[in-house]
Amino acid sequence: NAGVIQTPRHKVTGKGQEATLWCEPISGHSAVFWYRQTIVQGLEFLTYFRNQAPIDDSGMPKERFSAQMPNQSHSTLKIQSTQPQDSAVYLCASSTGGQDTQYFGPGTRLLVL
């Protein structure tokens, strides 16, 4: 079991460019969560999928951020027109259900210059 896989591990983009982050949940897990970690805010919930369906995106910034889960084996978090304040570690986690132990990936460190 490889655990939750996130790619890339590091990404540097210029201001205004698009960034797409990938997450592969643990096989058999039906719930996928996205979080963001910054020094200022700590760990913040962004969005949650259950059986590929979006359940709650209340933590997502209203503009420029979107997440999808086109199949059970991966989810993407897309940030359009990236800004320096988007710089953070983006964490993906999966679980067998919405209320079970969450297993975290190693994160993607995004730096927007």
Q: Which residues bind another protein (CB under 8 A)?
A: 31, 33, 35, 42-45, 48, 55-56, 89, 91, 93, 98-107, 109
Amino acid at 22: W
* Nearest residue (CB) to another protein, 17 versus 104: 104
* Nearest residue (CB) to another protein, 17 versus 22: 22
Q: How far is the CB of 16 from another protein (least distance, A)?
A: 27
Torsion of Cα atoms, 58 then 74 then 69 then 36, to 10°: 20
* Nearest residue (CB) to another protein, 55 versus 111: 55
Q: Which of 6, 12, 22 is nearest to 68 (CA)?
A: 22
Q: How far is the CB of 29 from another protein (least distance, A)?
A: 13
Q: How far is the CB of 109 from another protein (least distance, A)?
A: 7
* Nearest residue (CB) to another protein, 9 versus 15: 9
Check: CB of residue 91 under 8 Å from CB of residue 41: no
Q: Which of 70, 35, 23 is nearest to 51 (CA)?
A: 70
Token duo for residue 47:
């969005």
